[in-house]
């Protein structure tokens, strides 16, 4: 049920946040009004705004800390989703999903592009809209832990501990998939499936109302920065998907942490994200290994044979000897259109390196940009055409929440050469550095 024709503007847009559109994504130009929910192009209100905020919005207003998985209690998150289910726009979007459509929706991390994970045609619509490589697995989103019984073969005690601590939240668990439970396009030929329960009332309501486990990668064209606003989704996918639920800005700003537990009760972090590895280790009381934030640390040789056989059976080619361990980790991601490089090192040495590289780029005729922490930003303003803040070095959650929007802003400004300050890989800094490294194609200057 893909809308199918790029640029035709057939994607429906619902505004369901209690504040209406944020203004940043300009849905007022598409028929949304602050007094109700409208479909793009129809001019017909299909619902009224509910009073219950999403869990991400509660966290943003001071009600909790989504970056640490503590935004709301499980009971409050589920209660919020039940209130959202009463909204007519949520019911309409859910009906589209149940019918095999592709609909983008907010989560506490980024906006996801959802489809029924059990339906191969529906899931193929995700790959088509995103231009996503077919050997890249997808994360399945659920609204209740009881749904796991139909999807996976086993949940270990370590998995249960992590669910108790971080679900709903920005944590994805890699579990043994139940044969035949999901479309094989979701698992990309692996014998596991990545599952999470989002900490966002709108997302939970859509899952519940649709009656579907939702496969949902980030709602952007493959390789582009992930979307943290509905407007970002529209820029990439308008006319290619069936609907966008505008619930305001996401909270955490980087995707979920992907984890696989082991028989010893420990775990491996396959993709750093909104839940720091240190927090996972404290919950498990066992060793937690983490992949490097470097952009090359994302391939599982053990899964190569299975993925290669699946691709060969479809008559598709893929890089030999490689299969992604985790959704969203194999290919270059999050990249702006221009060339991005990261500078990492002691404060003065890093600052000198950035100044020298900016000056050289200007002499080459580049339109330059810099992405820097608040403590250093002013020192670069006269040297760069576009200077954007990452937030304070003292709170790297700010950098996580701002990163993707900043990369998109560089594109809007037409910058051709950009430099970003690196940061510590402690806590959520690991996710920030991983995404920066991906966006820069591994171009990190260590000084």
For 328, the enclosing helix (H) or strand (E) is none
359 shares its domain with 242: no
| DSSP per-residue codes, 136-199 | S--EEE-SSGGGGGGTBS---HHHHHHHHHHSSSSEEEEEEBPTTSS-HHHHTT-SEEEEE--S
221 located within any domain: yes
347 shares its domain with 227: no
Choosing from 246, 273, 295, the residue where a domain stops is: 246
Which positions ≥6 away from 269 have C-beta within 8 Å? 257, 258, 259, 277, 280, 288, 289, 290, 291
345 shares its domain with 237: no
Going by their DSSP bridges, the two strands 288-290 and 214-215 should be labelled as unpaired
Pairwise CA distance, residues 328 & 433, whole Å: 15
Alpha-carbon 170 to chain mean position: 10
356 shares its domain with 236: no
> What's residue 290's pLDDT?
83
> What's residue 59's pLDDT?
32
Q: In terms of residue numbers, what domain contains 206?
A: 12-246
240 shares its domain with 348: no
219 shares its domain with 85: yes
Choosing from 195, 219, 246, the residue where a domain stops is: 246
348 shares its domain with 240: no
235 shares its domain with 343: no
80 shares its domain with 187: yes
278 located within any domain: no
258 located within any domain: no
Alpha-carbon 250 to chain mean position: 9
Choosing from 230, 246, 262, the residue where a domain stops is: 246
Number of structural domains in the chain: 2
329 located within any domain: no
270 located within any domain: no
* Rounded to 5°, angle at Cα 424 from 419 and 430: 90
SS3 label, residue 116: strand
280 located within any domain: no
pLDDT per position in the chain (447 positions), as tens? Answer: 443 333 345 899 999 865 332 222 222 233 332 222 222 322 222 222 333 333 333 333 323 333 333 345 566 666 667 777 778 899 999 999 999 999 999 999 999 999 999 999 999 999 999 997 777 899 999 999 999 999 999 999 999 999 999 999 999 999 999 999 999 999 998 999 999 999 999 999 999 999 999 999 999 998 889 999 999 999 999 999 999 999 999 989 999 999 999 999 999 999 999 999 999 999 999 999 986 544 443 333 333 344 344 444 444 444 443 445 556 555 456 789 999 999 999 999 999 999 999 999 999 999 999 999 999 999 999 999 999 999 999 999 999 999 999 999 999 999 999 999 999 999 999 999 999 999 999 999 999
Domain of 406, CATH number, reads 3.40.50.11030
129 located within any domain: yes
Domain of 194, CATH number, reads 3.90.870.10
> What's residue 16's pLDDT?
86
434 located within any domain: yes
| Chain position carrying tokens 């045609």 | 121
82 shares its domain with 190: yes
229 shares its domain with 348: no
> What's residue 435's pLDDT?
94
- 322 and 304 Cβ atoms separated by less than 8 Å: yes
> What's residue 76's pLDDT?
66
């Amino acid at each position: 049920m893909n809308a199918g024709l790029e640029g035709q503007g057939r994607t429906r847009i619902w505004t369901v946040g209690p504040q209406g559109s944020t203004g940043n994504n300009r849905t007022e130009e598409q028929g949304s009004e602050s007094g109700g929910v409208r479909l793009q192009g129809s001019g017909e209100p299909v619902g009224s705004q509910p009073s219950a905020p999403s869990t991400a919005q509660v966290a943003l207003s001071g009600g909790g800390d989504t970056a640490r998985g503590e935004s709301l209690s499980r009971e409050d998150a589920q209660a919020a989703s039940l209130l959202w289910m009463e909204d007519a726009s949520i019911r309409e979007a859910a009906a589209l999903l149940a019918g095999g459509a592709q609909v983008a929706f907010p989560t506490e991390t980024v906006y996801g592009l959802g489809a029924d994970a059990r339906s191969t045609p529906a899931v193929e619509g995700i790959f088509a809209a995103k231009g996503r490589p077919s050997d890249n697995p997808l994360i399945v989103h659920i609204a209740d832990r009881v749904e796991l019984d139909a999807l996976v073969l086993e949940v270990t005690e370590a998995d249960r501990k992590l669910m108790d601590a971080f679900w709903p939240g920005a944590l994805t668990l890699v579990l043994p998939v139940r044969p035949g439970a999901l479309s094989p396009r979701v698992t990309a030929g692996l014998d596991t499936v990545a599952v999470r329960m989002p900490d966002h009332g709108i997302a939970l309501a859509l899952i519940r109302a649709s009656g579907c486990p939702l496969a949902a990668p980030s709602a952007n064209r493959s390789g582009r920065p992930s979307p943290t606003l509905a407007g970002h989704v529209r820029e990439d996918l308008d006319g290619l998907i069936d609907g966008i639920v505008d619930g305001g800005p996401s909270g955490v700003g980087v995707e979920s942490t992907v984890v696989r537990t082991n028989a010893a009760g420990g775990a491996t972090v396959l993709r750093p994200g909104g839940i720091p590895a240190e927090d996972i280790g404290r919950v498990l009381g066992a060793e937690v290994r983490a992949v490097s934030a470097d952009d090359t640390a994302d391939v599982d040789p053990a899964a190569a044979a299975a993925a290669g056989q699946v691709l060969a059976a479809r008559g598709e080619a893929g890089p030999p000897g490689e299969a992604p361990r985790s959704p969203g980790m194999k290919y270059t991601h999050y990249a702006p259109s221009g060339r991005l490089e990261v500078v990492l090192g002691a404060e003065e040495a890093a600052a000198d390196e950035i100044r020298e590289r900016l000056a050289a780029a200007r002499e080459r005729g580049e339109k330059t940009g810099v992405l820097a922490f608040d403590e250093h930003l002013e020192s670069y303003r006269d040297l760069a055409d576009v200077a954007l803040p990452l937030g304070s070095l003292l709170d790297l959650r700010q950098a996580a929440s701002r990163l993707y929007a900043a990369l998109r802003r560089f594109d809007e400004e037409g910058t051709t050469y950009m430099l970003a300050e690196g940061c510590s890989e402690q806590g959520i800094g690991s996710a920030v550095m991983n995404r920066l490294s991906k966006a820069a194609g591994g171009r990190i200057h260590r000084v």
